[in-house]
Amino acid sequence: MYVGHFALGLLIIAKAPRVKPLPILLGVGLLDIVNGLAVMTGIDHVTPNLASGPYLYFDLTFIDWDHSLLMAIILSVLWGSLFYRDTRLALLAGVASFSHFLLDLPLHNGDLALYPHAERHLGGGLWASLGIGSWLLEGVFSTLLVVWAWRLAARRGVSLAWPAAFLAALFIQLSPWLSPTKFIATLPEPYTHLLLGLVITLGFIVPGIVLTILVVNAERKGRQSGVEEGIAARAKSKQSVS
């Protein structure tokens, strides 16, 4: 799951528009941000496999320190606690972070441990069973979330056209044909792990920041439009009275 994480973050913001968006849009990718750093430092282990689809091209050999159930809970609590001064933001940031594990669960190929070094692992295996179909399924799922968020924002006069377009571009960029990880999987070590980890980390930090900017701009334009409509309505009302 990639775009689906951001799509859910967009929905959370649409349902709670008064909270700061950055903790939400970084939170949905927190586990992968940590994962990228762990891959670069050798804490997590991945194995190049060009047959591993639909867009991953790596087997997730050991990712227990960020993608196990226990660590997902711990990291989510820690992330939420950073915003303790705003109780609602802290709760939503923690929920956004833990949602990453829940959305990954049906897709991952049995590589999500209960806790670090646990024998039992979870994962619905849709990546393995559906292949490219799992990428298309993610697109449908993400679209539904974005449409839901769009309708909620539209009620407040806010257009999510640019955030939606950005997510569409991300979805296409991480397609089975354009995914940068396919090239990375062909590189020799240590470049494979270093570059993959960097791409994973930046692949959630940079889009999270860009999406935040787009959401903030959309909210600002919505408020300006509302003010202008209010002024126009009052002017029209005065003309009618006179």
Residue 177: burial class (beta carbons within 10 Å; 0-12, 13-18, 19+):
exposed
225 pLDDT exceeds 90?
no
Percent of the chain with pLDDT over 70: 93
215 pLDDT exceeds 80?
yes
pLDDT digits (tens, 9 = 90+) for 145-182: 999 999 999 999 999 999 999 999 999 999 999 999 99
233 pLDDT exceeds 80?
no
**Collapsed DSSP state (helix, strand, coil) of residue 131:** coil
Say which DSSP state 242 is in: -
Quick one: tokens of 92?
């939503």
Mean pLDDT of 217-240: 67
Band the pLDDT of 224: cuts 50, 70, 90: confident
Q: Which residue(s) pair with 121 in the sheet? A: 113
What is the pLDDT, as a whole number, of residue 223? 82
Spell out a b/e string for 111-145, using b for 16 or more CB atoms within 10 Å of the CB, else e.
Answer: bbbeeeeeeebbbbebbbebeeebbebbbebbbeb
Mean pLDDT of 110-135: 95
Helical H segments across 42-176, by residue range:
64-67, 69-81, 87-104, 126-130, 132-154, 161-173
pLDDT digits (tens, 9 = 90+) for 101-114: 999 999 999 999 99
